């Protein structure tokens, strides 16, 4: 670390001693009007800025050499200019208006801009495509600050999950083109439902903390917004194929018409991914398509986007018990002795591989789901300063997960126990399917004004979710009078969600911007019917939330920037929180987050240093305490006070011309101020109380860090060494070392080579070698504790990740 510190110090010293040149200029349109807020980037450096109130910009402390200036502004053609800087220069840049309205306007209201007082990271299309070899989207974001990804099957295919700043995915708001993607009831986003969407993604922005007001559920840890493919004016086609470890195959075909008659364009993509997974029987069969067609003029966009995904994954969500990981034979036998597993299940565990064991052996123990997305976008430029965006959407999801269950009571499935040879048979083995069939539809809009030093976004949305939960018995060993597809429960959820927001940004001076963002959100959620345990779950909940956000963005010097912000988010409990609650106990209430952020960034030609401090204070955060409901299921309970506080550090260095090194680290403290644990007492019944007081929040590592070291010896070859460190994580809220995930450090190697030839426009080869040092580690876990025979015992599941494995891909462009 001392050597690294000295290296960065010498880089900074070199900048101060040798960098004496400056590059200044103004950005205007063809009429000579200043383009305030135009983005100016100095290629192959960390320098970037926005045009001031007179269109002016300045880069200082530059060395002699070759540079490329990139300028972008919505509604105008991108500008680029190569120059060799031997002396200070001044540029007069004139941008030409595009013949069609650019699609950045569609997401402009939900995105953080360069002067937004928000901690955010934007991943562009080029970086997405370099990493998109078939793994799920969370694995493409795994090297952004404070991000932790995990995979049920152990290789990034199939079901994946993620956390940001220790916050799980059902508290992270996800939108696509500004339209809510997070499930309205669970608040979760499973990217496996829309496999290979990354192929049709233009860019992804991750806003950490509360972020901007947007559509969908409250952002309690972060917001992720994806923009799907935008207009490519030229006709194009490409074919991509990947193959790798665990019988992994991916094939993708994309094509686009380009701009036809100067106004119309259609783009499409078709994809299929299969993998057997690292975990036993952890197979995935994933199919998807994407199609987008638009009408484009200088002032109007009318665009239809349709994408659909189908997934069938073998269930790997139970994990591997710690006794199996540790080859603890007595501990494995205890699973049978305590009635946790049957004799057959215990024997299967004992004779399985320690790291790839899967509890389920039934051949069709699958999750089977399809999700279709329909979006209609309209954008119109009313005048040079004002545009209107509106979109209507419809999402249809349906599917089930199938389970083989042994020794089930007929009465638990509303079946009459049969009488055979004069004896009443109470139980049977059976196969069941738990179904979810849902419709989600609504409208979002924004009116966006920008002129001079002022900008205003006024927007909102309204959506309705209509979900149906039901279960069917499709086979039974002993049938009695039961019929095929016998339905034993049915429940519904009808949720209406409305929000409206206004965001105002003003440039108070050449150095200071101020932002105020106010949102009102109303929710009406009705739950009816019975659940799988035949409990009546009928209930109704209404919420009125006010979510204010304010911030300052300050530029103390040309190569420095700072921001300070406060944001509040309120979040209603999800469906499980409501239906799992004990009807006779305390009912869940909404959570409130107050988020304070302070950031600073220094940029020079070859060095970028950034830091962001955050303090996220929660009232009534919902957590697991060990409490159970009237049928023994775990429930989440509100705790009065808790917080997440940390510092995010980012750095980038460009050295020896062809080397780039980007690193980030998050050091955090995540606490519950007053915690009481409840442990189920099998000896005496009921729950035993364990008062802990101040403790660590589960799944919140104190340290995470990422490193990406890239070397580009030529324009054709790029070599990247990627490292990821995640510190120790407790898997419940007791801070017990008996219930934790060990820290892990994993490194991957990525090679990219572009073949130049005449037959195709481009041929690219990519090789990704994951876990090159074959580290044995687990990235997620769960635990259930109980008292039996006077001792504390546990049932748990850890999710081992694959050892050294690879994916090789080729992409051919036409």
| Predicted confidence band of residue 8 (pLDDT cuts 50, 70, 90) | very low
Query: Alpha-carbon distance 529 to 537, whole Å?
Result: 6
Render pLDDT for 277-332 as a digit per residue (tens, 0 to 9): 999 999 999 999 999 999 999 899 999 999 999 999 999 999 999 999 999 999 99
**pLDDT for res 30:** 84
| Predicted confidence band of residue 17 (pLDDT cuts 50, 70, 90) | very low
**pLDDT for res 213:** 85
Q: Mean per-residue pLDDT for 235-263?
A: 95
**pLDDT at residue 250 greater than cutoff 60:** yes
| Predicted confidence band of residue 67 (pLDDT cuts 50, 70, 90) | confident
Render pLDDT for 583-630 as a digit per residue (tens, 0 to 9): 888 899 999 999 999 999 999 888 999 999 999 999 999 998 988 887
Convert 189-212 into a string of H (helix), E (strand) and C (coil).
CCHHHCCCHHHHEEEEEEEECCCC
Give me the chain's average pLDDT, please.
Answer: 92
- Asked if 562 and 602 count as a contact pair (C-beta separation under 8 A), the reply is no
Q: Mean per-residue pLDDT for 463-491?
A: 94
C-alpha of 654 from chain center: 29
Q: Mean per-residue pLDDT for 577-581?
A: 93
Lowest-confidence pick of 74-78, 434-438, 587-591: 74-78
Q: What are the residues facing 32 on neighbouring strands?
A: none
CB atoms within 10 A of CB 330: 8
C-alpha of 304 from chain center: 24
Q: Where are the beta strands (DSSP E) in 217-360?
A: 222-228, 236-244, 248-256, 264-275, 284-296, 300-314
Q: Where are the beta strands (DSSP E) in 31-109?
A: 39-42, 48-50, 56-62, 65-72, 79-85, 89-95
CB atoms within 10 A of CB 531: 18
**pLDDT for res 529:** 97
Query: Alpha-carbon distance 737 to 745, whole Å?
Result: 19
Q: Mean per-residue pLDDT for 408-432?
A: 94
**pLDDT for res 12:** 46
- Asked if 241 and 250 count as a contact pair (C-beta separation under 8 A), the reply is yes
Render pLDDT for 637-666 as a digit per residue (tens, 0 to 9): 999 999 999 999 999 998 877 899 999 999
- Asked if 698 and 729 count as a contact pair (C-beta separation under 8 A), the reply is yes
Computed from CA positions of residues 624, 618, 574, 577, in that sequence, does the dihedral angle turn out positive or negative? positive
- Asked if 285 and 311 count as a contact pair (C-beta separation under 8 A), the reply is yes
**pLDDT at residue 3 greater than cutoff 50:** no
Query: Alpha-carbon distance 112 to 661, whole Å?
Result: 25
**pLDDT at residue 791 greater than cutoff 60:** yes
**pLDDT at residue 204 greater than cutoff 70:** yes
Render pLDDT for 486-521 as a digit per residue (tens, 0 to 9): 999 999 999 999 999 999 999 999 899 999 999 999
Computed from CA positions of residues 143, 148, 154, 159, in that sequence, does the dihedral angle turn out positive or negative? negative
Query: Alpha-carbon distance 675 to 689, whole Å?
Result: 11
Q: Mean per-residue pLDDT for 455-461?
A: 94
Burial annotation 714-733 (CB, 10 A radius, 16+ → b, else e)? eeeebbbebbbbbbebbbbb
Which among 534, 435, 432 has a CA at the least distance from the CA of 484? Answer: 432
Query: Alpha-carbon distance 313 to 154, whole Å?
Result: 13
Query: Alpha-carbon distance 222 to 632, whole Å?
Result: 32
Compute the radius of gyration of the chain from its Cα atoms: 28
Query: Alpha-carbon distance 244 to 420, whole Å?
Result: 53
Structure tokens of 621? 């955060």
Query: Alpha-carbon distance 176 to 181, whole Å?
Result: 6
**pLDDT for res 16:** 45
Beta strand 778-788 with 659-681 is: parallel
DSSP class of residue 304 equals: E
CA 655 vs CA 14, 101, 446, 718: distances in Å: 12, 39, 43, 15
List of residues 6+ apart from 449 with CB closer than 8 A: 385, 386, 455, 456, 457
Query: Alpha-carbon distance 628 to 349, whole Å?
Result: 27
Which among 334, 328, 364, 361 has a CA at the least distance from the CA of 346? Answer: 334
HSE-up of residue 791 (Cα within 13 Å, Cβ side) = 5
Render pLDDT for 114-127 as a digit per residue (tens, 0 to 9): 889 999 999 999 89
Contacts made by residues 751-756, CB under 8 angstroms, sequence distance 24+: 751/717, 751/718, 751/719, 751/720, 752/130, 752/717, 752/718, 752/719, 752/720, 753/716, 753/717, 753/718, 754/715, 754/716, 754/717, 755/716, 756/716
Render pLDDT for 722-778 as a digit per residue (tens, 0 to 9): 999 999 999 999 999 999 999 999 999 999 999 887 788 889 999 999 999 999 999
CA 790 vs CA 120, 135, 736, 786: distances in Å: 50, 46, 19, 10
Which among 608, 647, 643, 609 has a CA at the least distance from the CA of 623? Answer: 643
Q: Mean per-residue pLDDT for 783-797?
A: 95
What percent of the chain is predicted at pLDDT more than 70?
A: 98
**Phi, psi of 577, deg, nearest 5:** -60, -40
Query: Alpha-carbon distance 469 to 576, whole Å?
Result: 12
Structure tokens of 163? 């956390």
CB atoms within 10 A of CB 448: 22
Maximum distance among all Cα pairs of the chain, rounded to whole angstroms: 102
Query: Alpha-carbon distance 784 to 338, whole Å?
Result: 13
Structure tokens of 775? 């580290």
| Predicted confidence band of residue 49 (pLDDT cuts 50, 70, 90) | confident
Q: What angle do CA 804, 810, 811 make, to 5 degrees?
A: 135
Q: Choose between 814 and 278: higher pLDDT.
A: 278
User: How many residues are present in the chain?
Assistant: 814
| Terminal-to-terminal C-alpha distance of the chain | 47
Query: Alpha-carbon distance 121 to 722, whole Å?
Result: 18
Render pLDDT for 213-235 as a digit per residue (tens, 0 to 9): 888 777 888 999 999 998 888 99
Render pLDDT for 366-392 as a digit per residue (tens, 0 to 9): 999 999 999 999 999 999 889 999 999
Q: Where are the beta strands (DSSP E) in 508-585?
A: 512-529, 539-554, 560-571
| Predicted confidence band of residue 206 (pLDDT cuts 50, 70, 90) | very high
């Amino acid at each position: 670390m001392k050597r690294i510190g000295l290296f960065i110090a010498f880089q900074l010293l070199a900048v101060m001693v040798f960098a004496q040149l400056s590059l200044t200029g103004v950005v205007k349109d063809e009429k000579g009007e200043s383009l305030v807020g135009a983005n100016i980037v100095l290629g192959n450096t960390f320098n970037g800025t926005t045009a001031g109130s007179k269109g002016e910009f300045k880069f200082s402390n530059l060395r002699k050499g070759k540079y490329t200036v990139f300028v972008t502004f919505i509604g105008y053609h991108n500008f680029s200019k190569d120059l060799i800087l031997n002396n200070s220069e001044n540029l007069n840049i004139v941008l030409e208006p595009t013949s069609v309205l650019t699609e950045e306007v569609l997401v402009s209201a939900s995105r953080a801009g360069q002067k937004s007082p928000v901690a955010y990271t934007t991943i562009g299309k080029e970086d997405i495509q370099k990493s998109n070899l078939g793994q799920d989207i969370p694995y493409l974001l795994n090297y952004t600050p404070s991000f932790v990804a995990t995979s049920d099957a152990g290789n990034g295919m199939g079901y994946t999950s993620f956390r940001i700043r220790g916050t799980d995915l059902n508290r992270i708001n996800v939108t696509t083109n500004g339209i809510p993607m997070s499930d309205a009831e669970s608040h979760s986003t499973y990217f496996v439902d829309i496999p290979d969407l990354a192929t049709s993604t233009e860019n992804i922005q991750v806003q950490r903390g509360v972020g901007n007001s947007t559509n969908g559920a409250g952002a309690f840890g972060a917001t992720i917004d994806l923009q799907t493919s935008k207009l490519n004016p030229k006709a194009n086609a490409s074919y991509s194929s990947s193959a790798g470890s665990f019988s992994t195959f991916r094939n993708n075909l994309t094509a686009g018409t380009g701009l036809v008659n100067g106004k119309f364009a259609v783009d499409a993509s078709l994809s299929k991914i299969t993998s057997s997974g690292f975990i036993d029987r952890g197979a995935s069969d994933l199919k998807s398509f994407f199609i987008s067609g638009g009408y484009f003029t200088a002032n109007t966009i009318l665009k239809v986007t349709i994408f659909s995904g189908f997934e069938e994954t073998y269930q790997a969500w139970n994990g591997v018990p710690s006794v199996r990981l540790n080859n603890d034979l007595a501990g494995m036998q205890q699973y049978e002795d305590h009635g946790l597993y049957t004799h057959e299940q215990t024997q299967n565990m004992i004779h399985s591989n320690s790291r790839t064991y899967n509890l389920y052996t039934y051949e069709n123990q699958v999750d089977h789901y399809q999700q279709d997305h329909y979006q209609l976008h309209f954008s119109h430029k009313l005048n040079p300063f004002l545009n209107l965006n509106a979109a209507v959407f419809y999402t249809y999801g349906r599917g089930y997960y199938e389970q083989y269950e042994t020794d089930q009571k007929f009465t638990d499935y509303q079946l009459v126990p049969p009488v055979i040879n004069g004896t009443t048979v109470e139980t049977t083995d059976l196969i069941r399917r738990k179904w979810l069939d849902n419709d989600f539809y609504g409208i979002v809009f924004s009116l966006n004004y920008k002129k001079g030093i002022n900008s205003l976004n006024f927007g909102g949305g309204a959506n309705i979710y209509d979900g149906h939960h039901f279960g069917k018995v499709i086979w039974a060993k002993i049938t009695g009078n039961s019929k095929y597809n016998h339905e034993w429960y049915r429940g519904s959820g009808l949720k209406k969600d409305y929000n409206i927001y206004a965001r105002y940004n003003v440039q108070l001076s050449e150095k200071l911007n101020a932002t105020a963002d106010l949102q009102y959100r109303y929710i009406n959620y009705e739950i009816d019917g019975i659940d799988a345990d035949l409990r009546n779950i009928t209930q109704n909940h209404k919420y009125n939330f006010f979510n204010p956000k304010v911030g300052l963005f300050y530029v103390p010097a040309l190569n420095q920037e700072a921001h300070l912000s406060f944001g509040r988010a309120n979040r209603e409990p999800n469906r499980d929180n409501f239906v799992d609650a004990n009807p006779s106990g305390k009912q869940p209430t909404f959570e409130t987050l107050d988020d304070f952020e302070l950031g600073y960034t220094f940029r020079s030609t070859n060095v970028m240093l950034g830091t962001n401090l955050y303090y996220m204070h929660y009232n009534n955060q919902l957590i697991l305490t060990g409490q159970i409901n009237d049928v023994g299921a775990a429930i989440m309970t509100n705790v009065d006070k808790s917080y997440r506080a940390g510092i995010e550090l980012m750095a980038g260095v460009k050295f020896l011309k062809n080397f780039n090194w980007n690193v980030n680290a998050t050091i955090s403290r995540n606490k519950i101020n007053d915690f009481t644990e409840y442990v189920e007492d099998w000896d005496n019944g009921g729950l035993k109380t364990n008062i802990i007081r101040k403790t660590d929040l589960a799944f919140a590592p104190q340290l995470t860090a990422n490193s990406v070291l890239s070397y580009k010896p030529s324009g054709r070859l790029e070599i990247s060494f990627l490292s990821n460190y995640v510190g120790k994580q407790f898997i419940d809220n007791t801070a017990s070392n008996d219930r934790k995930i060990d820290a892990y450090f994993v490194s991957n190697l990525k090679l990219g080579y572009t073949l130049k030839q005449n037959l195709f426009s481009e041929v690219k080869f990519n090789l990704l070698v994951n876990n090159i040092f074959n580290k044995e580690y687990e990235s997620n876990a769960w635990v259930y504790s109980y008292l039996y025979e006077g001792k504390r015992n546990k049932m748990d599941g850890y999710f081992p990740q694959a050892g050294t494995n690879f994916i090789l891909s080729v992409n051919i462009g036409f």
